Amino acid sequence: MKLTTLLVAASCFTAQAFSPQSSTKSPVNNAAINSPLRKQAPSTTSVLFRDPSLTRGGAVPGWAAYNEALDKNPITAKACTSFVGFFLGDLLAQLFITKGPLDVKRLIVLSVFGFIYHGPSGHFFYNWLDSKIPGTEAKSVFTKVFIDQVFWCPIFMTVFFSYLGLANGDGLAAIGNKIKADLFSAVQGSW
């Protein structure tokens, strides 16, 4: 019953965040929206995603509303996306990998991390990275992936381990020891 309640609540929250809303406001003028990368994305160029007359509601239901949310409230949209991603990722891991009883606290802790840190920090970091290294040619992509994996990943993993430690009530010394013991292997796992 608790799992059903969590799933329904998460679905309602996400649906509310991404539902299309009529507005008389002027269009959003944001560098991320007007980015050349966004203009080349399949979700922008493919008629399947943009023309509801070809497929009922587009190829992916809710895609237009999601893109509208990204345009109007990018941080909120990305925070909610990360919340859902962390929620589903941990739920599936618990159901199919650990196969034990559902650890609701763990599910909530990881989902909240996605919402409060992963989505917003990713928004700012990747927009900054795209502004410093524009383009999608091989050299630009390689450089971005290198910076992401060598610099951003260790920072992200340090924050992640710290958050988990604090959520579990660990002291700073225990969190520091966890980071020293597991950071490099966690970063390698990302590679």
Predicted confidence (pLDDT) per residue in 23-56, tens digit: 444 455 555 556 665 666 665 666 555 555 555 5
Q: How far is Cα 149 from Cα 172, in angstroms, rounded to an integer? A: 26
Cα–Cα distance, 33 to 41 (Å, whole number)? 11
Please, are residues 123 and 74 in contact by the beta-carbon 8 Å criterion?
yes
What gap in Å lies between CA 64 and CA 77, rounded to an integer?
A: 13
DSSP annotation of 61 reads T
| Per-residue pLDDT tens over the stretch 49-90 | 555 555 555 566 777 788 889 999 999 999 999 999 999 999
Whether residue 118 contacts residue 102, with contact meaning beta carbons closer than 8 Å, is answered with no
Per-residue pLDDT of 119-161, as tens digits, reads: 999 999 999 999 999 999 999 999 999 999 999 999 999 999 9
Which residue is it, tokens 């345009």?
A: 71
